[in-house]
Structure 1
Amino acid sequence: MSDPASLIFKDNRPADAVGVHAVVIGVGHYAHLPGGNSHRFADHEGMVQLSSPPRSAEHIAKWLLDTYHDDQSMPLRSMHMLVSKKGAAQKFHHKHCPESEIASATLGNIKKAARDWFRRSDENAQNLLLFYFCGHGISAGMQHTLLSTDFGEDTLAPFENAVNFTDFHLGMGRCKAQSQVYFVDACRSISKNLIEQSASFGDSLIPGVTPIVQKTAPVFLSAQPGEKAMGLPREPSAFAQALPLAFKGGAWDKVDGEWVVCTSMLRRALERQTRRVMRAFPNFNFEVGGYADATITIKRPEGEPVVPVDLGGRPDTDHNLLELAYEPDGTNAQVIKEVNNDEVWLIDLTEGDYEFSAKFQNAAGQQKVVTLRKFVSPQNVSERLRLS
């Protein structure tokens, strides 16, 4: 790809035609942090190389192409992709775009991609902007800074090669397209360096700062203030895996009789799906961070939503759980699963009325069955269903 900022997709519609413009960034290799290929930045605060961001960026880019390429009302118009990983440059291939060699996520390339994204998006006020970043992030109070692959190159001014996300988000308020959604899959660990070097929190990418955060530019963060994000070694992060799953149904809402994926439902759906991805870690707890939340329609899907339901038992002390079951109302088609006492059955159901049941057995071999009838929809299924 000749474009150093990796414009991996651009359609042939007129510049002012409405659509989706996206930026996807995954920074796994940091040249100046431990394990990098250059001098070590002494004040690295425990930050190391990451294997998940390149895979997360690829996962999100493919999902965006699959989701929006053929959308009739809001088609994908352009997408930039930047990835830094150790070794050979990342290559990307999808049926909707030719194989491309992806440019590294240096600050210079991030800035070029962001400004090209701004200019394309600025052509039509009805455009939808989507931004995804996965990599190291650090915080100090309300300040949030994202680290490019060349962070720490100059030890006297390490944050010259970083993105001042707080100001970048504000600066994007200058864009005519005010429907903007940001997904930041990065740590928000408190940084002593950032506090002490307050002269620079990073590059704002878009010059000028609007006086207030736009109400239609919500940010979804994979970590709470002071917390680390949950990366998964050599596979997409839990947050990256949860995002497409949330779009399948959990984030749907009915507006004027039509299903839409909207930001007001997305936060809860992301939390739910992230916990599902991380179910192998029983002590894992997750809450989506964010600010400037708003109700924005980010997709008008077809068909019926697929609702995630986590079905489990809460047996009495002298009863063991034997099986769980569900039956769509009026179908006489019960689906049964044998389970262990502490097992949770993860099922995906279309909207409708269901009868859920659980079979228990006590020490004397006596069995009982308990049932629960529930209308399943994205709006009313937010917690695990337990039968006792």
Structure 2
Amino acid sequence: MALIFDQIADTPQTHILIIGVGKYPYLKGGEHAQDQTVDYLKNIGQLTSTSISAKAFLDSMLDIHAKDCWITPLGSIELLLDIQSETTGEQEPNDIANLDSVEKAYLDWKDRCGTNSANTAIFYFAGHGFTVDNNLHLALADIGKDPRLPWKSAVNFTSLRAAFHGCKADNQLFFVDACRDVPIDSLTTKLAVSLIDDVSKLQGMCTHDLTLYATAQNSSAYGPKDQVSYFTSALLNGLKGAGVTNDGEHWVINTGTISKDINGWMGEDKQTEQGTLRCRAEIAGPINIIKFKEVPEAHLTVICNPTGAINHADLRCFNENYSYKRGPNSKPWELTVKAGIYQISARFKGKHYKKTTVLKNIIPPNNNHKLECKS
């Protein structure tokens, strides 16, 4: 199979499974398009964002490893993707995400994750999805291959997620970049979908769980054409620094922060034909998963009130380790600083305004501050 990163050891590790489906050869616009028998499969087709999003997720996972930031070191990445990755500058092995390859990849990944209770399991899927009876189903590359069995290569993710709680790994992260609409066909037809894992009635829940969906129940997920999707872009921004917090000793990414802030990163003001984009999170036992070796950077914008005061202000942003300054200027002060607690001050050479100083905690990604300048 497509085990593109293999440094498996007996110690606690992070094991990742990435599935990206953009090409659906048996659906509309596909190389071997079939006359489908259900309206849902007649109406969906090729995707331009999902495979690109999966590759971006892969590259980010490897980048975090290269910077030695995984708290639980990276042990393996298994990749099912319908475009070649250029991460190493060479053509990497990968398999198309059809039912057979996904079933084997998933079970092999689950076995790796289950070797140590301190392991971290990460699952990522980007492709078509739909909801039936409150269960999310993921459409794999060979869905619609035989129109007589239209749902054969749709995997019941809700059941899969429940089953994976039985894995020994205490830390489990699932990211699903897919629509969750309800097909009209499901109201008149009982869907025979695929189950690739069994749910034990005796199993409990994992200790640390983050399951994150790109959209709310019964809603669509979106991505710009030939670009990373809105959800995956926001998620990766968070993992690479936007979600950083200080736990008293280190700058870390915590699953609780991801859950809480993902909608803000995705842009709550971004509108689609169905309204504001909103993802959904299920979380239990938040845990730190990434630790930065260096202090992360953050963007800061400083303005004055009244606006004209900035024309006369000598601005300074400083703490015991770093100092930034700028002279009078009519434009807002835009700067990039190392995260931390700073004093931000404005001094005036004339008698226009009084000196003002404030204390501000500056954290990634973006910070805005208005200095109140009194005459």
Amino acid at match of 2:160: F
How many aligned positions are there? 357
Instruction: Note the C-alpha offset of 1:217.
Output: 2.2
Unpaired segments ≥5 residues, structure 1: 85-89, 358-366
CA distance 1:212–1:127, shift in 2 (3 Å): closer
Instruction: Note the C-alpha offset of 1:382.
Output: 8.9
Q: 1:346-372, CA deviations, whole angstroms, 9 ceiling, x for partnerless residues?
A: 967622225399xxxxxxxxx999989
The farther-off stretch of 56-65 and 27-36 is 27-36
CA distance in 2, matches of 1:197, 1:304: 55
CA distance 1:314–1:236, shift in 2 (3 Å): farther
Is 1:171 the counterpart of 2:163? The answer is yes
Alignment of 1:11-90 (within 5 A): 11=7, 13-14=8-9, 16-37=10-31, 38-41=33-36, 42-44=38-40, 46-69=43-66, 70-71=68-69, 73-84=71-82, 90=83
Alignment of 1:77-116 (within 5 A): 77-84=75-82, 90-95=83-88, 99-116=91-108
CA distance in 1, matches of 2:220, 2:242: 25
CA distance 1:246–1:345, shift in 2 (3 Å): farther
Amino acid at match of 1:48: G
Alignment of 1:144-293 (within 5 A): 144-200=136-192, 202-210=193-201, 214=206, 216-255=208-247, 257-275=249-267, 285-293=276-284
CA distance in 2, matches of 1:217, 1:39: 39
Q: Secondary structure at the match of 2:241?
A: helix
CA distance in 2, matches of 1:113, 1:193: 30
CA distance in 2, matches of 1:372, 1:218: 41
CA distance 1:222–1:370, shift in 2 (3 Å): farther
CA distance 1:71–1:322, shift in 2 (3 Å): closer
CA distance in 2, matches of 1:68, 1:346: 28
Give % identity.
22
CA distance in 1, matches of 2:164, 2:126: 19
CA distance 1:333–1:34, shift in 2 (3 Å): same
Instruction: Note the C-alpha offset of 1:241.
Output: 2.1
Q: 1:176-213, CA deviations, whole angstroms, 9 ceiling, x for partnerless residues?
A: 1120101111111122234544453x333222345665
Q: Secondary structure at the match of 1:65?
A: helix
Instruction: Note the C-alpha offset of 1:302.
Output: 1.7
CA distance in 1, matches of 2:254, 2:130: 28
CA distance in 2, matches of 1:290, 1:173: 16
Unpaired segments ≥5 residues, structure 2: 347-351
CA distance in 2, matches of 1:215, 1:270: 22
Amino acid at match of 2:240: K
CA distance in 1, matches of 2:368, 2:153: 44
Q: Secondary structure at the match of 1:151?
A: coil
TM-score, reference length from structure 1: 0.77
CA distance 1:385–1:72, shift in 2 (3 Å): closer
**Residue of 351, 364, 367 corresponding to 2:340:** 351
CA contact (8 A) 2:50 2:228 kept: yes
Partner residue, 2:349: none
CA distance 1:354–1:183, shift in 2 (3 Å): farther
Amino acid at match of 1:190: V
**Residue of 4, 9, 16 corresponding to 1:8:** 4
CA distance in 2, matches of 1:206, 1:72: 28
CA contact (8 A) 2:18 2:124 kept: yes
CA distance 1:171–1:353, shift in 2 (3 Å): same
CA distance in 1, matches of 2:207, 2:324: 48
Q: 1:53-102, CA deviations, whole angstroms, 9 ceiling, x for partnerless residues?
A: 11111111111111125457522111111113xxxxx222334x963142
The farther-off stretch of 265-274 and 283-292 is 283-292
Alignment of 1:274-353 (within 5 A): 274-275=266-267, 285-307=276-298, 327-329=316-318, 331=323, 333-334=325-326, 350-353=339-342
**Residue of 90, 100, 116 corresponding to 1:124:** 116
CA distance 1:172–1:228, shift in 2 (3 Å): same
Q: 1:125-152, CA deviations, whole angstroms, 9 ceiling, x for partnerless residues?
A: 1111111111111123531111111112
Q: Secondary structure at the match of 1:59?
A: helix
Say what the alpha-carbon RMSD is for the aligned residues.
3.9
